[in-house]
Amino acid sequence: MPGSAARSCAGCPVLERAQALDAADPLAAYRDRFSLPEGLIYLDGNSLGALPKATPARLAEVVGGEWGEGLIRSWNDADWIGMPQRIGGKIAPLIGAQPHEVIAADSTSVNLFKLIAAALQMRTGRDAILSEPGNFPTDLYMIAGLEAQGLATLRLAHREKLAEALDGDVALLLLTHVHYKTGALHDMAALTRAAHDAGALVLWDLSHSAGALPVDLNGCGADFAVGCGYKYLCGGPGAPAFAFVAERHHVALAQPLTGWMGHAAPFAFTDDYAPAPGMDRLLCGTPPILGLAALEVGADLINEIGVARLYAKSQALSEFFRKCLRDFGVALDIASPAHQAQRGSQLSFRHANAYAVCQALIARGVIGDFRAPDILRLGFAPAYLRFADMAEAARHLMQVLATGEWQAERFQTRSAVT
Ligand SMILES: *Cc1c(COP(=O)(O)O)cnc(C)c1O
């Protein structure tokens, strides 16, 4: 059948099973709340979440009404000034935090910098920041930047050796909860406990967790967290990120980007800096209102669906996708944990020509992504994907591999953003 396979799976048993699962899916109707191009199978919602249909109208209102008509009055009248806290409060229930422990601000990278530096100051006499090799680059680069300033020492240990590497020099353990490349999940409770036992603080990067699986920061006793607004939260390209600080640290926390918006009284215009109480001191400059407005629509929608239901569906989607691959006879090396409880909302596969395979899939309207050097990464954003998409994507992957069409010249050339 490979090679002569039809362009569509209509009538094939795998698709019929998928359609039955879609018919029984309690989240099926939410797909219509997103704007997705006809015929496209989007398996990259873990890189840039899809556009909620409500976002353009909300942005038009903020631009035309609040900005165009309200002008500067909208800082108060439309509560622009309260947006970082308000949206932080909406992200809080997704990550096991109290509303006043989360703020939407800056990028994930900048929030990492603020919180790593804050942790160093809370653990005087210790300067090691422990992470794992292969963590998301920006996490490691932000530590390296502080190291170049003479403020930190980067220490790396493989995931099974992290507990051993926690000694009296470690100020902070910084890990990404769901690994961006493999989807492997860390045991947040156990690692947080191990770090605390060693006298260190813990900062979790939730970029691939928030909105995809339940996270219990306070239940695990986490100190700090950061995460991304444009992945599963569907806040749009470059959406503001979020930061979490456990309430018990709110008084002691000092971060180095002491901009005026984090001041206790920004509009008193005094010469001396005094940090605002609580999470407000995490702010630096003027909040990006348009980006926050789009993020709020995404966070509201993800909250409405509910993270427990999203997680259940993402697991069902990824397990069904694997079953489809088996049924189509596709044998690919899995780079993600095979057991669903040990991974987030994605499946990654190893292939020596993963880049070209990914490009060939994109040419067929199946958007996944490539992660160097050899990973084909498929994200299963549960808010808008169907089981039928799984069946079709698996069939396309089977055909791309069976026909060898990925070997075509046009699939070999790399562009700047992959
Ligand atoms: C996507 C991602 C980021 C993104 O950081 P930005 O500052 O928004 O570019 C950070 N950390 C992880 C783990 C990510 O997956």
Tell me, which fold does domain 79-304 have in CATH?
Aspartate Aminotransferase; domain 2 (3.40.640)
Cβ distance 91 to 110 under 8 Å? no
Q: According to the model, what pLDDT value does residue 413 have? A: 83
Instruction: Pick the atom of ligand 1 nearest to 229's CA.
Output: 8
Instruction: Pick the atom of ligand 1 nearest to 135's CA.
Output: 13
**Each residue's pLDDT expressed in tens, for the chain with a length of 418 residues:** 443 445 567 778 999 999 999 999 999 999 999 999 999 999 999 999 999 999 999 999 999 999 999 999 999 999 999 999 999 999 999 999 999 999 999 999 999 999 999 999 999 999 999 999 999 999 999 999 999 999 999 999 999 999 999 999 999 999 999 999 999 999 999 999 999 999 999 999 999 999 999 999 999 999 999 999 999 999 999 999 999 999 999 999 999 999 999 999 999 999 999 999 999 999 999 999 999 999 999 999 999 999 999 999 999 999 999 999 999 999 999 999 999 999 999 999 999 999 999 999 999 999 999 999 999 999 999 999 999 999 999 999 999 999 999 999 999 988 776 5
Strands 102-105 and 241-245: antiparallel
Residue 77 annotated among the catalytic residues of the structure: no
Instruction: Pick the atom of ligand 1 nearest to 231's CA.
Output: 1
pTM of the model: 0.96
Distance 47 CA to ligand 1 centre (A): 9
3-class DSSP state of 220 = coil
Distance 277 CA to ligand 1 centre (A): 27
Helical segments of 51-82, H only: 54-60, 74-77
| 208: number of Cβ within 10 Å | 27
Instruction: Pick the atom of ligand 1 nearest to 180's CA.
Output: 15
The best mutation among 47, 175, 185, 228 to test binding of ligand 1, ranked by most ligand atoms within 8 Å of the C-beta, falls on: 228
Instruction: Pick the atom of ligand 1 nearest to 47's CA.
Output: 1
Catalytic residue, chosen from 224, 230, 320, 349, is 230
Tell me, which fold does domain 13-52+307-411 have in CATH?
Aspartate Aminotransferase, domain 1 (3.90.1150)
Catalytic residue, chosen from 136, 328, 355, 384, is 136
Residue 377 annotated among the catalytic residues of the structure: yes
Residue 136 annotated among the catalytic residues of the structure: yes
With 0-12 CB in 10 A as exposed, 13-18 as middle and 19+ as buried, what is 345? buried
Residue type, 363: A
Q: Please give the Cα distance from 86 to 296 (Å, whole number).
A: 9
Domain ranges of the chain: 13-52+307-411, 79-304
Distance 207 CA to ligand 1 centre (A): 6
Please give all residues whose beta carbon lies within 6 A of any atom in ligand 1, as ranges: 107-109, 136, 138-139, 176, 180, 205, 207-208, 228, 241
Residue 205 annotated among the catalytic residues of the structure: yes
Strand segments (E) across 43-101: 51-52
Q: Please give the Cα distance from 411 to 399 (Å, whole number).
A: 15
Distance 402 CA to ligand 1 centre (A): 35
- Closest Cα to atom 2, ligand 1: which residue? 207
Dihedrals φ, ψ of 391, to 5°?
A: -65, -45
Burial track 379-414 (b if 16+ CB lie within 10 A, e otherwise): bbbbbbbbbbbbbbbbbbbbbbbbeebbeeeebeee
Q: According to the model, what pLDDT value does residue 418 have? A: 59
- Closest Cα to atom 6, ligand 1: which residue? 108
